[in-house]
Chains A and B, each alone.
Chain A
Amino acid sequence: MNLQAVRSIYYFEMARFFRTFLQSFISPVISTSLYFVVFGTAIGSRIDQVEGVSYGAFIVPGLIMLTVMTQGISNASFGIYFPKFIGTIYEQLSAPVNFLEIVLGYAGAAATKALFIGLVILGTSAFFVDLSIQHPLAMAGFLILTCISFALFGFIIGIWAKNFEQLQLIPLLIVTPLVFLGGSFYSISMLPPIWQTITLFNPVVYLISGFRWAFFGTADVPVGLSLLAIAGFCALCMAVVWVIFRTGWRLRS
């Protein structure tokens, strides 16, 4: 295992994050605050409580998940796509590193960034609403697992993408709608029965539900199922990464 290489890639990616630290830090703070102003204050004042939790607090887990998923994907996909785009990938390909080490470096850094931003949102939320986390360990577990899974997913997108448009395609057309329709801002019990059933086909529902359970102890779906969903998604991404590794798909000519 070439740990030095993993470290080099990881630090390189983190350096990019720190170069734009203000932007990385301020933009989630601003967008979170906006969500609280719009959803928490304007709309939330008309919704009293959801499942015994004030609406402002209720949306916190969904808000964190929304950002963590999109940030995990965008950081990892850009991280590996950019060297492909500008041609610097030759170095990683000609160095004594295997694909696992490359993935660890890029996806690890993307997961770290997503985790950091998730925690920033959690901290910002505390300024707007009273938050108590009933299962802190489970909360941390869900959060970390989500960061890792979506960083891996982003890595796959970055390898797959042949241009910047494709890089944006899956996050914009698939992930964002799934997250918004996955109960980020509402409980699925608020939906008509037919939509409740349809919603269960949205994998993001399980992630947000489990994460919300860790905060408030209430969930749309059993927490075991949530854990299985996120672990399954993580395993699926790892399997795809493994196949890419075996074949050198879209990396080596």
Chain B
Amino acid sequence: MTAMVKISDLRKIYDGGFEALKGVSLEIREGEILALLGPNGAGKTTLISAVCGIAVPTSGTISVGGHDTITDYRAARQLIGLVPQEINLEPFQKVMDAVRFSRGLFGCKRDDALLERILRQLSLWDKRNAKVNELSGGMKRRVLIAKALSHEPRVLFLDEPTAGVDVELRRDMWDTVAQLKADGVTIILTTHYIEEAEAIADRVGVIAKGELLLVEEKAALMARMGRKELIVDLQEPVAEIPEALAAYDLRLIEDGRALVYTYDTTADRTGITNLLAEIAAAGLTLRDIRTHQSSLEDIFVGLVKEDAA
């Protein structure tokens, strides 16, 4: 796959001297969903702002679809749709007018059939003549998405698209994103919600303090860093772990009612069969067994902590 967005050594120092981005390089492939994870103030929004033309980079280059965002900004921006983090909407405008305005700003001729399709897809068609300030928060957010899609962008930036959105709406949003991906749109989303990245992203980037700590395939990342835990529930609680099981580095939890064994899913031998046999040999009776895969959240927290250390 070719690179749709190419960011090279991007630095951004704000007027006050704050260095928001410290030389970020990143290639985003055409048609993928990239999730950028990071704590507040990590530089996620600055990165998006620099690509979209809202912030001027201090140094470094950005190209979108092969067009430099400074020297060939018209062609570059034509390809980009941006859904900002804040709900920035003109309150007294009707939904249809708002979307029409956005399309016009991008130099596109009026195309009400296309706008109808977009509004229907986002379940906003019934509200097309409603004023923006009459809509619920979730609907306003969808208006922002409709505006961003009005000129049929090839790259869509979603800056925290599901912040403050209820669970049902979040699932709808994910479906919309999946639909856009199916249409071939490249999607970059920033999020606080790890499960969001886990649910919809192809690749995950972790950003903290203006630096990109890693970008990796989500599956590979989870496999590489994913640790799995086997939890063995015991019939009778034990006071301490039997000597015979010392080699397994077990932990005792739930007042001695369960043993936790951590293992690497990618290792040749996980050691589970032997462990279970030795637990039986040590005279303990199993009541149940459970496994738990560490989530992206665990990985993320680990990475950011490591970086802070």
Contact = CB atoms under 8 A, between A and B. Distances in A.
A5 B97 contact: no
B73 A96 contact: yes
Contact of A252 (B55, B75, B92): B55
B105 A86 contact: no
Interface string B74-108: 11011010101010111110000100111111111
Given A7-B104, A253-B55, A91 B77 contact: no
Interface stretch (B46-54, B240-248, B275-283): B46-54
B54 A90 contact: yes
B239 to A, nearest CB: 61
Interface in B126-176: 147
B82 A5 contact: no
B238 to A, nearest CB: 60
Contacts of B193: none
Given A252-B55, A253-B56, A96 B77 contact: yes
B305 interface: no
Contacts of A52: none
A152 B11 CA distance: 34
Interface residues of A, number: 27
A87 interface: yes
Contacts of A8: 100-101, 103-105
A92 to B, nearest CB: 7
A83 B102 CA distance: 14
Interface in B52-75: 52-56, 73-75
Given A87-B88, A252-B54, A253-B14, 11 more contacts: A4-B107, A8-B100, A86-B88, A86-B89, A87-B84, A91-B88, A91-B147, A94-B77, A94-B82, A96-B75, A96-B107
Identify the 5 closest CB pairs spanning chains A and B, nearest first: A8-B104, A87-B88, A96-B74, A95-B105, A94-B52
